[in-house]
Structure 1
């Protein structure tokens, strides 16, 4: 599906052409988005433009535009007694005034600030701009989103106009709107009402802006009214369990009942029956969901005997689910699952930072998650609102529990010149280093500003839309040892990969970066904007997860595993994958020569095949035969300096996994007398 991303820009003059869309290009939680239109500097080997300097200049122009004291003036409140919605669902936090994808009416009262609004000035209204709210419109009383405006101020005439992308502008005519005078806006005033967001969240904000002097420059009104959006009825069940364990380990199993859009917090009670332990797990036969559980429950399971276990669940209303496989064995390496890329409503996503980490841990059953809102994208920019950054940092601090759940603060360095990177802090604190700051607007300056902090950067959607990565800039060997091979945008591996990224750019695939000699491991990142970290694939053709091989679960051990590329990526399913060249695991170096490749896969669905990729070419394909388990060995001869080897797993249902490469390089000589460390 195509979802327009939209937000306020400072210049009302641009509204007809850009509406809220100069910052409106990210199509997240979907597979495509609007195509680039600029012709900036920077081209690929094929001559195609990759940098979007038109975007950067528009953002900079907005920053430089002078604001009159009346711009952004006044206040807005929601008139709850005049606002209606289908409130059949129980409270979702505070009492909800909206239910997902359900029509309602919302009434607002704007009060002019001390400087008023000049004749010819404008008041702007924007419903929450992402994920399915009806665009406000004034032309068809019978259609969704119909909006009325009125004032009791004598001599003032209001001229409403709906711009593209859901922005409603109200021009003040007749005379100025004086301080304290009011304008009433009723959104969803017609019989069809206005449809609410399709994704549940707390603190969904209605936005207002004022161009107080009529010069075409506007600013947001502070403290906009907000409501909660409650989920719909239960429609699906998920069961998630750890991927590996040793006999005697206690592992986590998460049962979550969601609505049809994947929203959590549904109103459901009843019994869930569990089976599939086959005597090898100490698993309860049933669990009971109570009203306070809001459709989710965690069970701790003792692994007793070696084997492969898939837990089957039957819940209320006939809902059924099967878990990902749990592989129990005395030498099974620990695999933890992370989603290292996602957004909240502090930029252009859904829900609060607390919503984000709660869903990641208690619904998706992740072991680690990073929240990476944009530095300069959305409604209120992170680089201009330090209180938003502190909210992310504080949420990560509160949710971090060593050996239980790793929460990371981060941001997306949203460069329209060099490509987007998410920046992850593996320590407390940190700061936003903006891609629009002249001191940090290149990758080299970004890495220099990071200094000695425990930070990683990861190039996002490197092969295509909305902007490819400029691989002419070598990734920093310390700060960027990995790259995101798959996300909701699609796969960036190579032209032959499944669900390839849209607007792919020749020369910018991950294999092209490897061909340059870059040593990069592979991550999968959800880039979820729907509030569903770890489960991006529920609302899109592709998701993104990173499997991290580590025996401990802390920020420090996660950083080390990523640095040494002991990771693999999937587009959502929790496939168990092991790959080695001789005794060298994925991500490691190996000396030139002849080597034996070992592959073991325990899939979540019948296997199509496993491809062996050697230095940019698929040199072997191992038929999956519709099995869910596969073990294979292959001999690779004559591997030379600079080559690399990895495997790609393809399931019949579209699920996929990519092992980080093993890199062929001559052993580094140590100075005389220096022992191994």
Structure 2
């Protein structure tokens, strides 16, 4: 025998006795496995499971299961509803709190015979993000205790025998199938599906405060001809206890002009507004002066989010407003407010225009998308960017989705308070691109089954006659072909950061490479979130635009003019000029003229450094020295004629400059570039 010991809680030790023959077997088995190459192609594979790459096993399971059930869901939403009904209790749950759900299907006039099936397609994210890609999120009634929440089904008739199958790859995809093995269910009979059987552990419904609709259907003949039960049973998940305050103010208001301050009492689950919050807050400044109300009572029926009116800043420099709730022991501070930062005639507005909902491959309804942007993130503008290609139309038909998108976008557009843009994402354009329209009508160019695919060869022709902007996104992560047809009057911006990461630099797919080729892209930041949460700071970036007013036409004009900057989520104020030309602009200079480059960054966290990128390289850098408000001026005296190479894709000659800001917490911000041409002699 061979023994070894290890410490266990303090000075105690445990001892394990292992037969030498077993150890020899383990050592030899490990030696054999170390020589084996994992199997990665699972199509038709019937060999030992231990030879399969764990990653490829998961992905094969995920894509196979999800694709099958999405196809079935795609078909059943297009069929006539059956006469059964479904309800769920409780209808309201709390973010992050484990809760068992009881889903009841009442059989209608049509009996459910032996061999018939019920399918329940779970909403995205149900089960919690901690188990987003976990095969142990849910299990059937015979699953091992402690490994995932059990799901079981029981019929009201004791002579009916059911089998419950759980198809799940975690909260990213779950579908439950209940099969009638013996007997028949008649009108008035019921099947109860328990999600989180008390014999095991209940699931976390989700961290996100939003609606979770379950799509339920019955296949009466057992031949995959499912028919939906309508309306869908819905669970509404609400925010947990408030742990801190999030505070949002206009970035560049006029001195003395009253504005509204958005305050959100947020939980720690997902920055959700606390549904049960009530409190009393007071305002004070750390820098600058304000006038406005003293104490503000926030009643519980505001559910954790409120606008405080009648506040004004009294100085042109930087003001930061603290909001304190001494009763609940929580506080927060606004983004920096600085009236002098905006160029004459312009104001700075924050927005996020890349968000998905259950209209395509996300969760949450379109209305929740805009409420989150306006009431939770305090954004000035937002948009939907759902997919419309046929594989993404499994919850709704393409026509239904476009109708809902246009109606909800128009419903939430409130000039002067909150602006919405009409748009969507297309995935077939040699890389992903989003299109946004100047009006509320737009044009849907994605076609249904059998329709012509949208490509970079035909997209500009298909959109001709509309006023739109086309924006590539996540090029470094989704892949892109920069050597495709390009309209510089329409493809004006690129999404430089999102939940996928930063696409600024790093090879031929990067934004810098596109600029070097000759593209004149301004920058946007987005989340590309799939939970109807534009601007969620955990999910990616936001965009700052300098516009004449908060109206749809003016926001669109600012995007087209590239008066934009992007950040990874932090609400900075960034300004950048080259010889008096503001970011996004172009100018021509004599070769001997110096470029006077001026920039300023006002951040929420101490600034680590500021860099100026010239033709893809860092040409100037200063330390932020931990300051929150850093300005610089750099005179670039290098000969302009040596800095303007002929660009491969456009044959133009120019040098481009942009500003990059980093703060100590790792946040990054980018101004849009300025392009400098050499004056012709």
Question: Shorter chain as normaliser: what TM range?
Answer: 0.7 to 0.9
1:117-516 counterparts in 2 under 5 A? 120=115, 122-133=117-128, 135=138, 137-140=140-143, 142-143=145-146, 144-151=148-155, 157-165=161-169, 166-174=174-182, 182-191=190-199, 192-202=201-211, 204-215=212-223, 221-260=229-268, 261-276=270-285, 280-299=289-308, 300-315=310-325, 316-329=327-340, 332=343, 333-376=346-389, 381=394, 384-415=397-428, 418-434=430-446, 438-464=451-477, 467-495=478-506, 506-516=507-517
Measured against aligned partners, the alpha-carbon deviations of 1:91-119 in whole angstroms (never above 9, x if no partner) come to xxxxx431112222322333567776675
Which is greater in Rg?
A: 2
1:603, CA displacement in angstroms? 1.5
User: Residues of 2 paired with 1:363 and 1:164: CA distance?
Assistant: 31
Give the secondary-structure state (helix, strand or coil) at the position aligned to 1:433.
coil
Aligned-pair CA distance for 1:196: 1.0
- Give the number of equivalent residue pairs: 591
Secondary structure in structure 1 of the residue aligned to 2:405: helix
Which of 574, 579, 586 is residue 571 of structure 2 equivalent to? 574
- Kindly state the Cα deviation for residue 337 of structure 1 after the two structures are TM-superposed: 0.7
| Shift in Å, 1:403 | 2.2
Superposition deviation, residue 142 in structure 1: 4.5
Any idea what SS the aligned residue of 1:665 has?
strand
* 3-state SS in 1 of match to 2:198: coil
TM-score, scaled to structure 2: 0.78
* Aligned alpha-carbon RMSD (Å): 3.6
Aligned residues of 1:474 and 1:518 also touching (Cα < 8 A): no
Determine if contact 1:262/1:532 at 8 Å carries over to the other structure: no
Match 1:107 to one of 102, 108, 130: 102
Inter-CA distance 644–117: structure 2 relative to 1 (3 Å threshold)? farther
Q: Tell me the TM-score normalized by structure 1.
A: 0.78
Q: Identify which of 548, 551, 555 aligns with 2:548.
A: 551
- 2: CA distance, partners of 1:521 / 1:334: 18
**Inter-CA distance 207–331: structure 2 relative to 1 (3 Å threshold):** closer
Match of 2:50 in 1: none
CA distance in 2, matches of 1:69, 1:272: 51
Tell me if the contact between 1:351 and 1:531 (Cα under 8 Å) persists in the aligned partners.
yes
Deviations 1:1-59 (A, max 9, x none): xxxxxxxxxxxxxxx99xxxxxxxxxxxxxxx999989xxxxxxxxxxxxxxx99x979
CA separation of 1:352 and 1:216: change in aligned 2, threshold 3 A? closer
Q: Which moved more, 1:262-271 or 1:149-158?
A: 149-158
SS at 1:556's partner residue? helix
Q: Which residue in the other structure is 2:665 paired with?
A: 653
Distance 1:130 1:225 in 2: 16
8 Å contact kept, 2:352–2:543: yes
1:210 CA drift (Å): 4.2
Q: In 2, Cα distance between the equivalents of 1:485 and 1:186?
A: 44
Given that 2:359 and 2:396 are in contact with CA atoms closer than 8 Å, whether structure 1 keeps it comes out as no
**Deviations along 1:143-187, whole A, 9 cap, x unmatched?**
453222233568754222222323222334347767876533222
Distance in 1 separating the partners of 2:75 and 2:420: 39
Q: Deviations over 1:201-240 (max 9, x none)?
A: 13x2112244554445756544321121121111121111
Provide the C-alpha distance between the structure 2 equivalents of 1:193 and 1:363, rounded to a whole number of angstroms: 29
Q: CA deviation at 1:565?
A: 0.6
Alignment partners' CA distance in 1, 2:301 and 2:77: 49
**Displacement, 1:65?**
9.6
Q: CA deviation at 1:628?
A: 1.2
Aligned to 1:528: 529
Is contact 2:443-2:463 (8 Å) kept?
no
Measured at CA, do residues 473 and 122 of structure 1 come closer, stay the same or move farther in structure 2, by a change above 3 Å?
farther
Instruction: State the shift of 1:318 in Å.
Output: 1.3
Match of 1:613 in 2: 613
SS at the partner of 1:630? strand
Contact 1:604/1:628 (CA < 8 Å) preserved in 2? yes
Local SS of the residue matching 1:233: coil
